[in-house]
Structure 1
Amino acid sequence: MVGNNAWDNYVKTFIERDYPNLIIHGYKLTSPDTTEYNCVAWAGEDDQTWWWPDAQNQEHWPPDVPREETLEAFQAAFRTLGYEVCQDDSLEPRFQKISIYINSSKVPTHVARQLPDGKWTSKLGQDEDIEHNNLQGLTGNPGYGEVACIMKRPI
């Protein structure tokens, strides 16, 4: 991320408070905060729209996909982008992968997208985008819970 080192360090204190496993597993800031899009949109390669299955229909959600905060609804949303459930998060040539996280109540909390080098990229809510070395950096509580599902699509 291009920015002021003092500001970046300030931002990192909050990120590391909310996602302490990132300290162990490694990450870097890649863009400043914005409310234009969230993690679900970012995983779907949309940096213009906020995706969420809100019942009020205020946020974007794919047509004909239930507006529910369930793993099944999130999987269905990503199926509209060509993703299918797969076995693991290993890097596969010619495929792009996403990871859906859930909390202890089985509610989706986050979606990350794999980069061509095998690392992952995430939008932290309305905050910054980060690149993280693996999926474990965002797990836990505090954190996004656990990885519930990996999906992939051909590139």
Structure 2
Amino acid sequence: MVGNNTWVKFVREKIERDYPNLTVYGYKLTSPDTIDYNCVAWAAEDDETWWWPDIQNQFYWPLSISREETIEAFQQAFETLGYEVCQGDALEEGFQKIAIYTNSNKVPTHVARQLPTGKWTSKLGSLEDIEHNNLQGLTGNPGYGEVGCIMKKTIPV
């Protein structure tokens, strides 16, 4: 990421405070902060819309899916994009994976998308996009909790 070294240092300190496991497992900044989209949208490959199942209908959510902050609603939202629940986060040729994180109450907190390299990409709320080496970098408290579900879809040839 191109930027003023002082600014990058500030951003890194903020990220590492909120997601301390990233310092252990490794990450890199890949884009500046923006409020145009969030992690759910980023995982869905939409960088223009904020996705969230809010009951006020302020944000985008697939029409046929319940506006609930549940793992089932998030799974159903990604099923509209061709994803299905699977086991394991290992890179599989011909598939793209996402990981849905949940807090201790099993409420979704974050979604990450696997890159063709096997690494993962995440949008940290309204903050920056990052590339992280594995899913463990964003787990914990502080952090996004635990990985509650892995899903995959076939990559069109």
TM over 0.5: yes
One-letter amino acid of the structure 2 residue matched with residue 103 of structure 1: N
TM-score between the two structures when normalised by the length of structure 2: 0.98
Give the Cα separation in 2 of the matches to 1:75 and 1:102.
12
Q: What are the Cα deviations for residues 66-86 of structure 1, in whole angstroms up to 9, with x where unaligned?
A: 000000000000000000000
Which residue of structure 2 lines up, in the alignment, with residue 23 of structure 1? 23
Question: Is 1:113 aligned with 2:117?
Answer: no
Q: What are the Cα deviations for residues 81-113 of structure 1, in whole angstroms up to 9, with x where unaligned?
A: 000000110000110000000001110000000
Unaligned 5+ runs, structure 2: none
Unaligned 5+ runs, structure 1: none
Q: What are the Cα deviations for residues 5-29 of structure 1, in whole angstroms up to 9, with x where unaligned?
A: 2211110000000000000000000
Q: CA RMSD in A?
A: 0.4
Give the Cα separation in 2 of the matches to 1:133 and 1:14.
19
Give the Cα separation in 1 of the matches to 2:25 and 2:118.
14
One-letter amino acid of the structure 1 residue matched with residue 131 of structure 2: E
Give the Cα separation in 1 of the matches to 2:89 and 2:111.
13
How far residue 118 of structure 1 moved from its aligned partner, in angstroms, is 0.2
TM-score between the two structures when normalised by the length of structure 1: 0.99
SS of the residue 1:45 aligns to: coil
How far residue 4 of structure 1 moved from its aligned partner, in angstroms, is 1.4
Give the Cα separation in 1 of the matches to 2:6 and 2:94.
39
One-letter amino acid of the structure 2 residue matched with residue 92 of structure 1: E
How far residue 137 of structure 1 moved from its aligned partner, in angstroms, is 0.1
Which residue of structure 1 lines up, in the alignment, with residue 137 of structure 2? 137
- 1:94-113 maps to which residues of 2 (within 5 A)? 94-113=94-113
SS of the residue 2:112 aligns to: strand
- 1:1-155 maps to which residues of 2 (within 5 A)? 1-155=1-155
One-letter amino acid of the structure 1 residue matched with residue 11 of structure 2: V
How far residue 42 of structure 1 moved from its aligned partner, in angstroms, is 0.0
One-letter amino acid of the structure 1 residue matched with residue 132 of structure 2: H
Give the Cα separation in 2 of the matches to 1:65 and 1:11.
35
SS of the residue 1:55 aligns to: coil
State, as a whole percentage, how many aligned pairs show the same letter.
76
Aligned length: 155
Give the Cα separation in 1 of the matches to 2:95 and 2:8.
32
How far residue 2 of structure 1 moved from its aligned partner, in angstroms, is 1.4
Give the Cα separation in 2 of the matches to 1:5 and 1:30.
15
